[in-house]
């Protein structure tokens, strides 16, 4: 069997949270959320467990080890409001030490904790917040199965549109992955730090039109 054949898909559970945080660190060692450390990531992923608006899928190998995870929500505003209310304090405490190492990150951290899923482009519906696959298990179709399973479960919840954001620069393999999975680039924008972002969307309705935003 191939790695893709061994996929066992289920929802994210409490027991998966530490492994999901560790997996995120391995998959994205140079990204902002990873710079906030494992304690912050554990709070982030724990927020998706049992939330009424969350849609999550995990992938395991034959030995039960977590090899992939995708998390998102069908109602971003309500989900992130609850995340802030329930876990905002613990997330802030977990990020204190990383923030002290790089004070320039404090503003970005505050904006991140207060995030509501809003983007300055024409996107709507469910938000795919994070998807990661263990680098050791990459290339076997696991990521595609995860994102396809997540999209199916979103539609099962009666939501016909979804979107996600990812870095526009230095991120060609990830951008290509989303395009191959059937997601359409609907906009580009820049964060306050000048980070260029792409927004992708998928819909059971007619195709989106691409927009460019920012300088």
Q: Where are the domains of the chain?
A: 4-159
Please determine, for residue 57, whether its predicted confidence score (pLDDT) is greater than 70: yes
Distance from C-alpha of 54 to C-alpha of 128, rounded to nearest angstrom: 10
Higher pLDDT, residue 210 or 64: 64
Higher pLDDT, residue 68 or 37: 68
Please determine, for residue 210, whether its predicted confidence score (pLDDT) is greater than 60: no
Q: How far is CA 27 from the centre of its chain?
A: 12
Please determine, for residue 3, whether its predicted confidence score (pLDDT) is greater than 50: no
DSSP for the chain?
--TGGG-EEE---GGGHHHHHHHHHHH-TTSHHHHTHHHHHHHHHHTTTT-TTEEEEEEE-TT--EEEEEEEESSHHHHHHHHHHHHHHHHHHHTHHHHHH-GGGHHHHHHHHT--S--SSS--SEEEEEEEE-GGGTTSSHHHHHHHHHHHHHHHTT--EEEEEEESSS-HHHHHHHHHTT-EEEEEEE-TT--EEEEEEEESSSPPPPEE---
What pLDDT does residue 1 have?
Answer: 36
Please determine, for residue 108, whether its predicted confidence score (pLDDT) is greater than 80: no
CA triple 194-123-79, angle to 5 deg: 90
Distance from C-alpha of 5 to C-alpha of 183, rounded to nearest angstrom: 23
What pLDDT does residue 72 have?
Answer: 96
CATH topology of domain 4-159: Aminopeptidase (3.40.630)
């Amino acid at each position: 069997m191939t790695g893709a054949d061994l996929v066992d898909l289920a929802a994210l559970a409490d027991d998966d949270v530490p492994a999901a945080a560790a997996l995120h660190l391995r998959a994205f060692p140079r990204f902002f959320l990873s710079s906030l450390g494992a304690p912050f990531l554990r709070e982030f992923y724990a927020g998706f467990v049992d939330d009424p608006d969350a849609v999550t899928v995990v992938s395991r190998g034959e030995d039960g080890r977590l090899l992939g995870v995708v998390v998102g929500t069908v109602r971003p505003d309500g989900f992130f409001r609850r995340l802030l209310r329930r876990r905002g304090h613990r997330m802030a405490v977990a990020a204190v030490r990383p923030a002290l190492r790089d004070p320039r990150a404090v503003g970005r951290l505050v904006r991140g904790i207060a995030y509501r899923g809003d983007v300055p482009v024409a996107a709507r519906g469910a938000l795919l917040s994070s998807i990661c696959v263990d680098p050791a298990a990459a290339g076997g179709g696991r990521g595609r199965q995860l994102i396809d399973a997540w999209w199916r479960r979103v539609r099962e919840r009666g939501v016909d549109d979804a979107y996600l954001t990812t870095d526009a620069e230095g991120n060609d393999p990830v951008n290509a992955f989303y395009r191959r999975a059937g997601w359409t680039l609907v906009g580009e924008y820049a964060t306050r730090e000048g980070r260029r972002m792409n927004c992708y969307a998928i819909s059971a309705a007619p195709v989106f039109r691409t927009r460019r935003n920012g300088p």
